[in-house]
Structure 1
């Protein structure tokens, strides 16, 4: 599977080798990481990806992606928490290193991931953000997702398509 491209970014499907590097926090000689990458969240995603690959195989295209800027530097991650459920729904997550935040990268990446999910016959994409995480809330609304609920801690977002 190839990269998903936007005007300024490439969403690169994580390989086992890349996940091992991320989990260890040590890139190989060819990896280009922005300072702060991988974040604690990226390391956690890499470890879960490796566990999933060992147990049931590579989940792509419904796995994690590294977000790379035009200069090929890894600035964060985005991806699916797993394959679609029985109703065709997936959940997404994302994060960027601090130096890449506030530049529209996460919204741009999500605007590429959503039509890709639809093309894979996904019927809805869900996400959530803590009440005080207005930046993440903005990312989802900027990409076309709408708030569909909330509880005392989290706001829930979704976008749906018919099959």
Structure 2
């Protein structure tokens, strides 16, 4: 599959490749810079660094991005990566995928999260195996909850720490 970048009014979503992932794990942005973009000084975030080994493991199997890994969120205005969005793998046997996203702190509250989520969900509409979109966020993360709700996901459960969201395609 030849995966293309996703474009919105203000953003470009670029799939992370194996080379980019391995470069970031080593603390280098060299592979990113080959694309003509830069990393915001606060990206990759701690959360992104935590999931890079998982993304790397997935990409080592597929060799090329399927779209169900992580996409870098690039601000078209300054060509900087300001966050990332993606899935926790391909749809499971029930057609469920889980989406997650994060932005560098100083870019939050500008609508970038909603814009990126809308783009990735539009892409997902054309992926046959995906029937249910799931997400979770901390109860204290009101901004993420608003973004998920605006995107059409409904709260299906919560515990003392997390809110669980779902959207049936």
Deviation of the 1:57 alpha carbon: 4.3
**2:43 matches 1:33:** no
Deviation of the 1:73 alpha carbon: 0.6
Deviation of the 1:32 alpha carbon: 0.3
**2:151 matches 1:149:** no
Structure 2's unaligned 5+ residue stretches are none
Structure 1's unaligned 5+ residue stretches are none
Matched residue, 1:114: 121
Distance in 2 (alpha carbons) for counterparts of 1:147 and 1:3: 30
Q: When the two structures are aligned, how many residues end up with a matched partner? A: 161
**Do 2:18 and 2:63's aligned partners in 1 also have CA atoms closer than 8 Å?**
no
Matched residue, 1:101: 108
Deviation of the 1:101 alpha carbon: 0.8
**Do 1:52 and 1:58's aligned partners in 2 also have CA atoms closer than 8 Å?**
no
Matched residue, 1:17: 19
Deviation of the 1:110 alpha carbon: 0.4
Deviation of the 1:55 alpha carbon: 4.4
**2:93 matches 1:86:** yes
- In the superposition, the TM-score normalised over structure 1's length comes to 0.92
Q: Closer, same or farther in 2 for the Cα pair 1:59/1:89, shift >3 Å? A: farther
**Do 1:108 and 1:143's aligned partners in 2 also have CA atoms closer than 8 Å?**
no
Distance in 1 (alpha carbons) for counterparts of 2:73 and 2:166: 21
Deviation of the 1:109 alpha carbon: 0.4
Q: CA RMSD in A?
A: 1.5
Post-superposition, which runs of at least 4 consecutive aligned residues in structure 1 deviate over 4 A?
A: 55-59
SS at match of 1:26: coil
